Structure 1
Amino acid sequence: MAHTTDHVKALIAAERRELAAVLHALRPEQWEAPSLCTGWRVREVAAHMSTGFRHPTRKVLWELVKSAGRVNAMADRLARADATALTPGELADAMADNAHHPWKPPVGGYENALGHDVVHGLDITTALGLDRRIPEERLRVLLAGVTRTSARFFGAPLHGIRLQADDLDWTFGTGTPVTGNAQDLLLAAFGRKLPPGRLSGPGGGRFVRVPGVG
């Protein structure tokens, strides 16, 4: 099913408003807890999610120059600095106040902007054990965009693996089966290691986060 730009932008706005509500409800200790993003607490993930709203493009480009063109190094430095400079309330407000902000990644358009919000939101809620369910309409936009190329970009170990959702009609790849709900499989396709017990099947262990590691 094709999605118009306006439709995807509406999905992004809804996701950001819902994420803002989640962030506003977090307890202080949850802001300091680790996320699924290796080395980042919830604070750093929330700061990273709103980088494009709070910093003009020229600043981001300058920071990229300072990082010798290393995007991940630049993103890490900005996230850590902003996580320290801003309060949890300010980080949550940045999502709510920018629900309709036109930011999108350099490639991939608004579908990738939706993916950025959904996946990083799950980096927070999944790590904290919060039962937030992403609406199927949003998931289907993102699942339709999963490819071998995108999986390699995020370092997802999908070679010889078949991802199979047990809550909607979606599969990807061929080989050893990994079964779980669609949003957990989306995280796996984005290179995330999940808490134990969320995925099943002979290949599920490939995507499990070992406690105390990473």
Structure 2
Amino acid sequence: MHGSAMAIWQTVHSVRLQLAADLSDLDHDQWRTPSLCPGWDVHDVLAHLVDTARTGRLSFVRELIAARLDFDRANERGIAREKRSDPLETVAALRDSANLTRTPPANLATRLVEVIVHGEDIRRPLGLVGNYPAGAIAEALEYQLRTPVSFGGGRERTAGVRLIDRKTGTSWGAGDDGEGEVEGDAIDLLLAVSGRQVDPQRLTGSGASRLAAAAGPPADRAPRRRRVKR
């Protein structure tokens, strides 16, 4: 069941504030830690979250035109605009922007994808543990499953794969001839579908290696580039 707009925004605001709290005591070197996004360190991802929190429909269109309709270039410009020389100032900017309800012209579920996936892009390399509502993870996953990779989703990555949430037994898709099953926690399934490398021990089943291959190389072995999947 999809959440209401109010429920989605409440979750987004809460997750933003929790991330700001989690990052408030990092040391200088930790800010340079490569994130799960190829080419971005954790400070870059944080700045991107600030930028997306402050971006509404009109400003999104304006910035995309300024970037000559290149989403990657628009993301780079947004990071440059919001990344402070002192990372703690970027944390403060996220905290100040946490309760905004601005969004590009897209399905509101993208706001859940944004804060959950990027939250894990930051937290996992730092050894931090995130806590997200189960319903929000499921809604973000369902959105990614029906959205093409070219639009920031992961539909093609799960062709012939059946995903199973090991905690609830909820499943999505159908494996090829009874094969291609991937079982894991919903948050790990969401990350893999979104193109992130997940610890192989977190995903099991005959389709786990197929999904991992579709997600691409680990961030530390990927080409150095400014690209983000949502």
Category of TM-score, reference length = shorter chain: 0.7 to 0.9
Identify the residue that residue 213 of structure 1 maps to in structure 2: 221
Q: Which residue of 2 aligns with 1:47?
A: 47
Question: Residue type matched to 1:90 in 2?
Answer: E
1:134 to 124, 132, 135: 132
Pairwise CA RMSD = 2.5
| Structure-1 residue corresponding to 2:187 | 183
Structure 1: 5+ residue stretches without partners: none
Letter in 2 for 1:67: A
Contact 1:151–1:189 (8 Å) recurs in 2 = no
The alpha carbon displacement at 1:203 in A equals 2.3
Aligned to 1:97: 96
Distance 1:184 1:25, change over 3 A: farther
Q: Are 2:196 and 1:192 equivalent residues in the alignment?
A: yes
Deviations 1:63-89 (A, max 9, x none): 423321111221023324543x44211
Identity rate, percent? 31
AA paired with 2:113? G
Structure 1 60/196 Cα, relative in aligned 2: closer, same or farther at 3 Å? same
Where relative contact order (Cα < 8 A, 6+ residues apart) is larger, the structure is 2
Please list, as runs of the form range in 1=range in 2, the aligned pairs for 1:154-165 lying within 5 A after superposition: 154=152, 156=154, 157-165=157-165
Distance 2:54 2:5 in 1: 23
**Structure 2 residue 229 is matched with structure 1 residue 203:** no
CA distance in 1, matches of 2:58, 2:5: 25
CA distance in 2, matches of 1:148, 1:178: 17
What are the Cα deviations for residues 40-62 of structure 1, in whole angstroms up to 9, with x where unaligned?
00011000011034567766544
Number of positions where the alignment pairs a residue of Structure 1 with one of Structure 2: 212
Distance between the aligned counterparts of 2:218 and 2:55, measured in 1? 35
Distance 2:86 2:54 in 1: 14
Aligned residue for 1:28?
Answer: 28
User: Does the residue aligned with 1:145 lie in a helix, a strand or coil?
Assistant: helix
Give the counterpart letter for 1:187 in structure 2: L
Which consecutive unaligned segments of at least 5 residues does structure 2 have? 223-230
Aligned partners of 2:18 and 2:119: how far apart in 1? 10
Distance (whole Å) between structure 1 residues aligned to residue 161 and residue 39 of structure 2? 27
Aligned pair in 2 of structure 1 residues 120, 200: CA closer, same or farther (>3 Å)? Answer: same
Contact 1:44 1:82 in 2 (8 A): no
Cα deviations across residues 79-117 of structure 1 (Å, max 9, x unaligned)?
24543x4421111112222221011232102x2212211
Q: Distance in 2 between matches of 1:122 and 1:68?
A: 30
Which residue identity is paired with 2:189? L
Contact 1:163 1:177 in 2 (8 A): yes
